[in-house]
């Protein structure tokens, strides 16, 4: 599909699935290099709902034992960030003393990352690293380093591969950009 219509907006193909998979392969290689042979069991923290598809693809490529944990935060309404991050679902497991790889679909303003790092600290994680499928460097104004970035993209509104527009479009295999 070259274009898709979601509610009142039209989106065109931006990143085909094949490119997404290649980026996930490269990211998994970097994570494996850091964690392969580890004695502990790191936590893969899936930030719901957006990173479900990325987390699933990534986990299939990891070569060490890990535990899947979820959390749900919310900051978007329509096509823009509200600027306020709220916790819609708390951590689904105890992370005290554990190494955590936070898996995000997209990092733009960084507000969610700041909140996630705070939650990790409050819950006693031994260490937390940030892994994101997509990164908008032009929007990011925080000083928290991102450990694993699969792809950098411009500051455009996108959907697909877990990302939504008012809760639809997540199931699209490719990533689409708003077609103005």
Domain boundaries, the chain: 17-153
**Is residue 47 a contact partner of residue 103, using CB atoms and an 8 Å limit?**
yes
β pairing state of 158-159 and 80-89: unpaired
Catalytic residues: 108
Per-residue model confidence as pLDDT tens for the chain (180 residues): 799 999 999 999 999 999 999 999 999 999 999 999 999 999 999 999 999 999 999 999 999 999 999 999 876 556 566 667 877 788 999 999 999 999 999 999 999 999 999 999 999 999 999 999 999 999 999 999 999 999 999 999 999 999 999 999 999 999 999 998
CA angle 45, 139, 12 (to 5 degrees): 85
Per-residue model confidence (pLDDT) at position 44: 98
Which residues fall within 8 angstroms of residue 44, CB to CB, at 6 or more apart?
55, 58, 59, 62, 66, 67, 68, 69, 101, 103
Q: For the domain made up of 17-153, give the CATH fold.
A: Rossmann fold (3.40.50)
Per-residue model confidence (pLDDT) at position 83: 67
Reported pTM: 0.94
Per-residue model confidence (pLDDT) at position 87: 79
């Amino acid at each position: 599909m070259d274009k898709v219509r979601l509610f009142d907006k039209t989106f065109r193909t931006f990143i085909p699935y094949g490119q997404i998979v290649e980026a996930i392969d490269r990211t998994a290689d970097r994570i494996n290099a850091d964690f392969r042979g580890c004695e502990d069991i790191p936590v893969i923290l899936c930030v719901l709902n957006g990173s479900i598809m990325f987390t699933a693809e990534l986990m299939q490529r990891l070569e060490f034992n890990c535990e899947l944990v979820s959390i749900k935060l919310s900051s978007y309404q329509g096509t823009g960030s509200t600027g306020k991050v709220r916790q819609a679902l708390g951590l689904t497991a105890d992370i005290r003393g554990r190494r955590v790889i936070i898996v995000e679909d997209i990092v733009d303003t960084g507000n969610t990352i700041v909140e996630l790092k705070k939650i990790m600290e409050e819950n006693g994680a031994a260490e937390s690293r940030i892994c994101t499928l997509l990164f908008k460097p032009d929007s990011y104004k925080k000083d928290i380093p991102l450990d694993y970035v699969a792809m950098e993209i411009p500051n455009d509104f996108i959907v697909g591969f877990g990302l939504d527009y008012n809760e639809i479009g997540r199931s699209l295999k490719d990533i689409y950009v708003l077609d103005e």
